[in-house]
Amino acid sequence: MRDQHSSSHLARLIARIDTRHAVIAIIGLGYVGLPLSLRYAEAGFQVLGIDIDPHKVAKLNEGASYIEHIPANTIATARASGFEATTDFSRASHADALIICVPTPLNAYREPDLSFVLATADALVPHLRAGQIVSLESTTYPGTTAEELRPRLESRGLSVGVDVFLVFSPEREDPGNQHFDTRTIPKVCGGDTPACLQAGMALYGAAIDQVVPVSSTRAAELTKLLENIHRAVNIGLVNEMKIIADKMNIDIHEVIRAAATKPFGFTPYYPGPGLGGHCIPIDPFYLTWKARQFGLHTRFIELAGEINSEMPHWVVGKLTDALNERSRSVKGARVLVLGIAYKKNVEDMRESPSVELMEILRAKGAIVAYSDPHVPVFPPMREHRFELSSVALTATSISSFDVVLLATSHSAFDYALIAQHAHLIVDTRGVYLDRLSNVVKA
């Protein structure tokens, strides 16, 4: 009898997805959840966005956007096709699919903080019913879906793989990337049971061009961590190479450009002032924490993290030396930080190394300002507070600073104007390829 129930629930769910009658609920309307909501709306589904932030919900229901690279007309189009945002979790009972896209940060001890995921799951549990699929997209350690979400779903008296279906499908958003979007980025999906995987493949196959199945939710969870740890370790390598090259008076960016001409066996990674964003500075710690439960030490990962976390201090050291050579001290120096988003051409400031640079410089007595066309006013942040607005770049404003610290290489900056009028530039991104007397590579 249970096999019949499983078969009927699964068949009905897949039929509703295939015919676009399924209601898709996305929980967490940030940089991952909002683009996914818009993609499902574009694919012809009725989409319900759920978020605890009433400000976000109000803006979306007005047809407005709060993410720079998502235009308001895209929101308006989705609204016209039935997309709606709400703070009411009870409405999850009307959805066929519940996709969780909430943050997974680290706590003060650099350990995984699953509070957002678990609070979301607990808020959804009272409204679960047979025939639904629950998907977790938040990056986490292997075992989270099976060990944390499955017991919560089954506490409702629902059997996973029979009554409800549980999958993990890691997000792969890359804000500002003009070559890929939510539809065209392949989607990995792992199910808690074979029936769960079948449901997950149908769910994501209806909106994403290519869905890649893996054998379990654990495999899917580890896939995401490997992707980001791969980047973190390689960036740590080139950051260490940068320090070596600097001691040898060699431009590391010239070396990387030359090495990248090799048509096989080499992938270019680029150094910078530190790691930023919601994934790469955080995700490796999820695996190192989990590995310790198995008596394992992730030496490569931890070493790369050590190197990358020291980069802001190394950059400030280069800036200090450059000022000293010009008979200036950091204390009292006017420093303009160019770019405070964590990557070029976006407004996202999560874990931005630029902000850490500002904190270090301020602690040393520097007078800090910033210029970033994507961040007109420094936003309120949990760990950082600067009462600042973006400085407009003119010949007069640039020349009023003792040093310009190029931290994020936005395309909108006029680098020729900056080079012409800056007394000193500390370039952490390899923007200035020529050897200029007022440019120091860091």
* Residue at 47: amino acid letter: V
* Residue at 323: amino acid letter: L
Nearest to 238 by CA among 259, 218, 256: 256
Q: What is the pLDDT of residues 198-223, one digit of tens each?
A: 999 999 999 999 999 999 999 999 99
d(CA 55, CA 87) in angstroms, rounded, equals 10
**Which has the minimum average pLDDT: 18-32, 135-149, 283-297, 319-333?**
283-297
The domain limits of the chain are 2-215, 231-441
**Would you mind telling me the total number of residues written for the chain in this entry?**
442
Active site residue 279: yes
**Residue 219 exposed, middle or buried by CB count within 10 Å (0-12, 13-18, 19+):** middle
- pLDDT > 80? residue 113: yes
* Residue at 221: amino acid letter: E
Structure tokens at 78: 């989705």
Nearest to 187 by CA among 35, 30, 301: 35
Q: What is the pLDDT of residues 163-183, one digit of tens each?
A: 999 999 999 988 777 789 999
Contact 15, 50 (CB under 8 A): no
Nearest to 276 by CA among 347, 223, 201, 354: 354
Contact 276, 352 (CB under 8 A): yes
The whole model's pTM is what?
0.92
Measured distance between the N- and C-terminal CA atoms of the chain, rounded to whole angstroms: 67
2-215: CATH topology: Rossmann fold (3.40.50)
Catalytic residue among 101, 189, 196, 279: 279
Structure tokens at 148: 């944390």
39-50 as b/e, with b when 16 or more CB fall inside 10 Å? bbbbeebbbbbb
Contact 361, 378 (CB under 8 A): no
Contact 307, 239 (CB under 8 A): yes
Q: What is the CA radius of gyration of the chain?
A: 24
- pLDDT > 90? residue 434: no
For residue 176, the model assigns a pLDDT of 74
Give the number of other Cβ atoms within 10 Å of residue 335's Cβ.
Answer: 25
Half-sphere exposure of 332 (CA within 13 A, CB side): 4
Average pLDDT, the chain: 94
Confidence band of 73 (pLDDT split at 50, 70, 90):
very high
- pLDDT > 60? residue 1: no
- pLDDT > 60? residue 69: yes
For residue 3, the model assigns a pLDDT of 54
**Which has the minimum average pLDDT: 171-180, 258-267, 310-319, 400-409?**
171-180
The percent of residues in the chain predicted with pLDDT above 90, rounded, is 89
d(CA 308, CA 338) in angstroms, rounded, equals 20
Q: What is the CATH number that goes with domain 231-441?
A: 3.40.50.720
Q: What is the pLDDT of residues 220-276, one digit of tens each?
A: 999 999 999 999 999 999 999 999 999 999 999 999 999 999 999 999 999 999 988
Domains 2-215 and 231-441 share a fold: yes
Contact 381, 341 (CB under 8 A): no
Nearest to 224 by CA among 278, 266, 184: 278
* Residue at 313: amino acid letter: H
d(CA 350, CA 48) in angstroms, rounded, equals 26
What's the rounded mean pLDDT across residues 372-392? 92
What's the rounded mean pLDDT across residues 357-379? 97
